[in-house]
Amino acid sequence: MSKVMHDATEAKGLSEELQTPLERRTFLRYTGLGLAVGGLALAGCNDVMEDMSQTQSASATAADMANMVDVGSGDVGVLNYAYALEQLEAAFYAQVLQTQYYNSTSAPQRVALRDIEAHERIHREFFKQAITAAGATPIKDLEVDFSSIDFRTKQGVLSVAKAFEDLGVAAYNGAGKLIKSAAYLTIAGKIVSVEARHAAIIRDFLEYNTFVGPDVVDQNGLEKSMTPAQVVAVANNFLKEGSKLNVSNLPTE
């Protein structure tokens, strides 16, 4: 906390506009761990996700790692990493379809959520079969922890849907270069654009015409990627102990 004060004091010479984001980022960097993690993720903001990821990865101890699910290395590791994320998304939408919110919301939202649930379930089952067909072993069925999610309201459901979809797109975008096989790269490309289609309509449901925006796209019109470490720092908040992901053996380039 003293570090926060220090930074804030020295930042005095800056304009208010600059000072605010700096303080926020610094604050999150030093105190983000364990603090209202669910709430932060609900914000669905990439800045927050990046900050969380820095704190979280720094905090992982050897004991933690031993209890984690290692997605492995090489192309199969990347496939298992994708399989893990699809498990998370599929579990989320499966639960959404069981809610009163889903049953009572507008028909267009029901149609979209039902379709997206099917797509994510297909992605999950595809990876399980494809990894097996490649002669490798899929990671286990992950146990999710959605206790931080408010499944009762539109805002509760769709803000997490938005966070998961944006996260998925950023994850695939960051993983593409880690894949050595052109065939698997193409598969990742076939999925990421569908995730982006999901992200856009979910965001439009929350606020029309936010299908794209500066939180996910940089000043060159390029969508921001996230590394596997950044992604699992967020995803692990929604996975139970013993199902949290360790991506430290994945390729880094």
Partner 1 sequence: MNILNILAEIEKVDPEVYERLDQRRQVFKHFAGFGKKLAAAAVPLAMGSMFQKAYGQSSSLGKQITDVLNFALTLEYLEYYFYDMGVKTRNLFVQADLAAITIIRDDELKHVNFLKAVLGSSAIAPLTANDFDFTGSKGGTRAPLISEVFRYRQNFLALAQAFEDTGVRAYKGGAPLLIENNTVLEAALNIHSVEARHASHIRTMRRGGTQANGLPKSWITGNEGGGPLPSVTAPVYGPGMPADMFPSEANVTQAGVNLTSIPNVTADQASEAFDEPLDMATVLTIASNFLK
Binding site for partner 1 (CB under 8 A): 7, 10-11, 13-15, 18, 22, 25-26, 106-109, 111-112, 115, 118-119, 121-123, 125-126, 129-130, 133, 169, 172-174, 176-177, 179-180, 182-187, 189-201, 204-205, 208-209, 211-212, 217-225, 253
Task: Write b or e for each residue in 188-209: b if 16 or more Cβ atoms lie within 10 A of its Cβ, otherwise e.
Answer: beebbebbbebbbbbbebeeee
CB 235 within 8 A of CB 159: no
Nearer to partner 1, 128 or 244 (CB): 128
Smallest separation, CB 150 to partner 1 (Å): 21
For residue 181, the minimal CB distance to partner 1 (Å) is 9
Q: Are 32 and 55 in contact (CB under 8 A)?
A: yes
Q: Where are the alpha helices (DSSP H) in the chain?
A: 2-10, 16-31, 37-43, 46-59, 62-66, 74-96, 100-104, 107-133, 154-175, 182-206, 228-235
Least Å distance between CB 7 and partner 1?
Answer: 6
The number of beta carbons lying within 10 Å of the beta carbon of residue 23 is 15
Rounded to the nearest whole angstrom, what is the least distance from the CB of residue 66 to partner 1 in the complex? 30
